[in-house]
Structure 1
Amino acid sequence: MATETLIRAEHVLTQADFGELYAQVQQFYSHQMQLFDAHEADRWAATFTEDAVFDVPTLDAPVHGRAALAANVSRNLAQQERSGEQLRHWIGMLDIQPGRDDELHTRCYALVYITPRGGPSRVLRVCVMEDVLVRVLGKWHTRHRVVTRDDLA
């Protein structure tokens, strides 16, 4: 099987290369979501490009750029402190399609869990998350994210 290849958008990757890429992207998302859930606003925003677009259904309009991304995380923290609830994000069923140059198109399911202080956790939202990832100085960054909630689709 080592000689099998995946061909996407004029890129040829061996199974081993694709496996390594897949692991890198999973690690990227694990790190990014843990920063988000820990409300590390600046560090989370730094996982996006300077001109990133963040389009999620919990906001009235897409967010543009790192400063606005960090401000959104700070707003989330204040809201969770008032409510006494903790949110956790889980990413799964990740699909990766190599694009041109060092660009990836990803699609995955994002589950948002909510845990009230002293209470049981439950699924709050089930979403589809679609990203364009690019390499910046050898590291993956999100350039564009669109999240669609299943209940609003």
Structure 2
Amino acid sequence: MTQDAVLYCEVVQFYARQMSLMEEGRVAEYAATFTEDGVFEHSLGWRLEGRQQIIDGTLGGLEHYAGKAMRHWFNRYVVEQEPDGTVRTSCLAMVSVVDQDGQVTFEPTCTVSDVLVRENGALLTRSRFLQHDTADLTRVWEGRLADSGATASAGTEQ
């Protein structure tokens, strides 16, 4: 296996562990996958700096999913290692949400752009930038357009 393939597999495994920690509500462990001064920001202008802000921001976000199963689906990874060892990644992400009745909805897709670094041999996120595929997230929640009542749900309309 080439070095590029080994790194690619390592990055995919890193994201699988990282997203599972958040989905399971293990927020402090999730935040520990970022560097101490890690940054998580969104194209809409919000920015979380440092592990404590990442913990607080994640806890606030998870409140919206109480009683539901949330899963992050990452795909189409681009993994590039810089000469200094920094790893730049981007991937497409989709979030599925399953409510207590088994109803599946989807969040708007987005591009996740990260800078990963190694600390004590382990990959950590130094910075993350999210760009959703819709400019107006205020109208969208779990795939529903609040204005119209339309639903994108498991490929069927309600």
TM-score calculated relative to the size of structure 2 = 0.79
The root-mean-square deviation of aligned C-alpha atoms, in Å, is 1.7
Considering fraction of residues, name the structure with more strand.
1
Quote the residue 2:11 is aligned against.
Answer: 25
For 2:74 and 2:53, the matched residues in 1 are separated by: 23
For 2:119 and 2:90, the matched residues in 1 are separated by: 20
The percentage of aligned residue pairs carrying the same residue is 32
Q: Which amino acid aligns with 1:54?
A: F
Question: Quick check: 1:133–1:142 contact (8 Å CA) kept in 2?
Answer: yes
Instruction: List structure 1 segments (4+ residues) > 4 angstroms apart after TM superposition.
Output: none
Quote the residue 2:74 is aligned against.
Answer: 91
Deviations 1:60-106 (A, max 9, x none): 6200000111112222333322xx33321111110011113120110
Deviations 1:17-70 (A, max 9, x none): 11111110000000001111111111000000011110135x762000001111
Structure 1: runs of 5+ lacking an equivalent: 1-14
For 2:77 and 2:83, the matched residues in 1 are separated by: 19
For 2:68 and 2:7, the matched residues in 1 are separated by: 35
Q: How many residues are aligned here?
A: 136
For 1:134 and 1:103, the matched residues in 2 are separated by: 5
For 2:70 and 2:45, the matched residues in 1 are separated by: 20
